[in-house]
Structure 1
Amino acid sequence: MGYVFLAHDPAGGPVALKTMRHELAAREEFRRRFGKEADAARRVARFCTAPVLDAGFDDGTAYIVTEYVEGPDLSAVVAQAPLTGSNLEALAVGVATALTAIHQAGVVHRDLKPSNVLLSPVGPRVIDFGIAQLADAGHTVATVAQSMGTPAYMSPEQARGEPATPASDIFSWGSLVAYAGTGKPPFGNGGGHEVIYRVMHHAPVLDGLDERLRALVERALDKDPRRRPSAQQLMDLLLGRTQVPVAVASQSVSETWTPVLPTRRPATASFPAGSGPASRSPWLLVAVGLLAAVVGAGATLGVVRPWEQRGADPGTPATAGTVDALGTRFQVRIDSLVQQGTTARLAWTVQNAGTEGVLLYNKLGNGVTDNSVSRVSLVPPGVASPVYPASVGEACECSKVPQLSFQAGDQLQFWAIFKGLPEDAGYVDVNLGPLGVLKNVAVSSS
């Protein structure tokens, strides 16, 4: 449908700028539906999605601006190895959460597939929701497979040429989770018509899928859309509760997600004067480089996951401590500190062991507007300057702190990624800001 550019908003933050092909924007039907679909996409809550920030036309170019997500897509990660354990479960919950937010806004994704799920440091993010509906408005496609989505992940009703509904996205969710957990699409590979036939008539092959997810995936892949659970029901069944708010489900994902090592940001190149994709829109003026080629084309990325399992030496001798701070008492425990090269990931748990509630929000960041844990640092022996969490643009590669009051008995889990730690550090002091310092915490190698 077009191209994606890495751009910056007026404040300097990174965004993804999607420009549609000119021949699409020239069609009256496309232009008529573009505004409607883009407005609907902007109403989608940002939980587990890459929200749409702006959309419009400029010099005949239709464009959509979305939040930039740092991280590889699901297909690039699964090409290295299928997801397992908590990350597979977090993916299932995260995509179900995104679909719930999308469906609540009255949008149907229609093309949920591995390349449309990006794995950010805080969990999966679903992109391109609503955009698939615009393809048909351009009348540029020739087959059912092209017009309705990706054969291996489309629903039987889509394959029959029927309108896509939220239940169609649920079928795609089942195919996507099966692929993430086994490394293979549940209806196999091959030519488009061959795969479509299996989608319509064959049972899915789910050999090797985690048994805790298999029954729910089977329900999602029911040929009859009336028998599939809704996105909200998927969230509820996965989390073992009823009517889970999308905000709560999204927080659960970020707390259990183990980030993949971030891939190197693509090189940027400035456009010569007057040669950019358009000339008037401020979004188009700030485009700084090509991020990816055709929309939907997956890039091959090398992904390393050194902290899939906890290190053998999870932080000794000072793995835990008690501190009186902020009007209450905290118990702090280092869960893991794992290093690969000069990059390390720290995970820790904080429990309110006192009798009073306290607000941790904005207490672990740098400044009153920072709701992350960016103030936390590692201090290697013999190093004068502490190592703080890494950042992508202006965003910290670390946990966010909930805005809710931290009540007595409550427990929170946090994580942060650090770059520049000496490879031979061995032991470090972990400075948790107002929650105290844990000394001589062992660094485990991946």
Structure 2
Amino acid sequence: MQPQDAVMPGGIGPYRPLRLLGEGGMGQVHLAVSPGGRLVAVKVVRPELAEDAAFRARFDREVRACSAVSGAFTAAVVDADPAAPVPWLATAYVPGPSLQEAVAAHGPMDERTVRTLGAGLAEALLAVHRAGLVHRDMKPGNVLIAGDGPRVIDFGISRALDGTVLTRTGTVLGSPGYMAPEQVAAPQDAGPPCDVFALGATLVYALTGRGPFGTGSAASVLYRIVNSEPNLDGVPPGLGPLLADCLRKDPAARPTPEQLLGMFGAGSAWPPPALWDDLRRRATEAAALAAAPPPPVRHQTTQPKAAPKPTGGHGPNRRRVLGLTAAAVGGVAGLAGVGALVEQGIGGSGARHGAAPRGSARPTGVAVRKEPVRGDVPI
């Protein structure tokens, strides 16, 4: 991890950017530090999108969704300003890889480790659903491996159970390979069971290094999800039937997160031993960046564009979501007290995070998540 010139000049709200973690078609995620020395990950949308009232409404909704969810294995929002000239969202930072990165670097995980992983993800989904939300984009790139357990991140396309949807009629938001059949065919019917389907597909990836519906164009993968049975070759017999139940075509036939908590059984110590060096290195390097003196301030020569006037009430311009203090967020900190989560989510994960290859064909009427073009995290 090295400082980069690509960080934003000045600050993002009260936060001083340290390093660009990743960027994509809709925004950037920066590692930043608070005035009190707390490491955070700050998501910043692109200025041109900030001028789009519909996008602002979606971003404001994302802030509300993230702030409504709390739990040991979910994201905690630290701060946000959806009404800023360039809207941003800050969460605590965890120096850990995504599940996609971990499997790519160290190979598939063993059954006991995946049982622990599965129980953590089920508990995370329970917290999401109790908040009245559906995640709708569970996948290996949206699961982080922290020192004290997995973290489910990216509520960028979550929807409220009351049926409020900000997408256009006839479109589907999600990531090919991890979307439930009903999410593909009728997005308005994508309720909590679609998250259980995605959990099953994510655990198949953790065990085998591949998704249960193969690779190829988005259209071909989505076709297999709707019409073919999952490929569970390589899944241990002890988990095969359980994951097959999670991947059933009929949403009503899938287990609930509450039921899953009692089905994964005894797991293993966490984190996987192969990841300890990686976790320590990330924690050490992030702490060193935070402790380094700030660079000279570069003054802006042009004035930023004013935020468009809101069409409805969104509260004050600056929102301390949930009123979380640094100490409160520290309760879910990872190694050496350095952070708890990289919240990410304005788009989807790229090839290294298990998304369809760049340039894959996309089926008509399906809005596939945008891939990042650089960095460590999806945007």
Structure 1 stretches lacking a partner, 5+ long: 241-251, 284-289, 302-446
Is the 2:40–2:90 Cα contact (8 Å) retained in structure 1? yes
CA distance in 1, matches of 2:147, 2:89: 24
Is the 2:146–2:271 Cα contact (8 Å) retained in structure 1? no
**Counterpart of 1:308?**
none
Is the 2:81–2:319 Cα contact (8 Å) retained in structure 1? no
Deviations 1:214-239 (A, max 9, x none): 11111110101111111111112224
Deviation at 1:45, TM superposition (A): 1.4
Is the 1:19–1:61 Cα contact (8 Å) retained in structure 2? yes
Report the structure, 1 or 2, having the larger helix content. 2
**1:50 and 2:64 aligned:** no
**Counterpart of 1:237?**
263
**Counterpart of 1:199?**
225
Deviation at 1:197, TM superposition (A): 0.4
1:41–1:184 Cα change, 3 Å? same
**Counterpart of 1:73?**
98
CA distance in 1, matches of 2:140, 2:88: 23
**1:8 and 2:33 aligned:** yes
Q: Which moved more, 1:157-166 or 1:108-117?
A: 157-166
The residue type paired with residue 140 of structure 2 is: P
1:72–1:299 Cα change, 3 Å? farther
Is the 2:156–2:346 Cα contact (8 Å) retained in structure 1? no
The residue type paired with residue 76 of structure 1 is: E
**Counterpart of 1:258?**
272
Deviation at 1:31, TM superposition (A): 3.0
Is the 1:18–1:65 Cα contact (8 Å) retained in structure 2? yes
Q: Structure 2 residue aligned with 1:227, among 246, 249, 253?
A: 253
Deviation at 1:129, TM superposition (A): 2.2
Is the 1:76–1:299 Cα contact (8 Å) retained in structure 2? no
CA distance in 2, matches of 1:277, 1:300: 37
CA distance in 2, matches of 1:42, 1:278: 28
Deviations 1:337-357 (A, max 9, x none): xxxxxxxxxxxxxxxxxxxxx
Deviation at 1:258, TM superposition (A): 3.0
- The within-5 A match list for 1:89-238 is 89-131=115-157, 137=166, 144=171, 147-163=172-188, 164-238=190-264
1:167–1:30 Cα change, 3 Å? same
Q: Secondary structure at the match of 2:87?
A: strand
CA distance in 2, matches of 1:111, 1:157: 13
**Counterpart of 2:364?**
none
Output the TM-score relative to the length of structure 1.
0.55
Output the TM-score relative to the length of structure 2.
0.64
Q: Which moved more, 1:273-282 or 1:185-194?
A: 273-282
CA distance in 1, matches of 2:110, 2:245: 20
**1:60 and 2:85 aligned:** yes
The count of residues paired between Structure 1 and Structure 2 equals 278
1:130–1:232 Cα change, 3 Å? farther
Q: Which moved more, 1:222-231 or 1:197-206?
A: 222-231
Is the 2:40–2:91 Cα contact (8 Å) retained in structure 1? yes
CA distance in 1, matches of 2:181, 2:302: 41
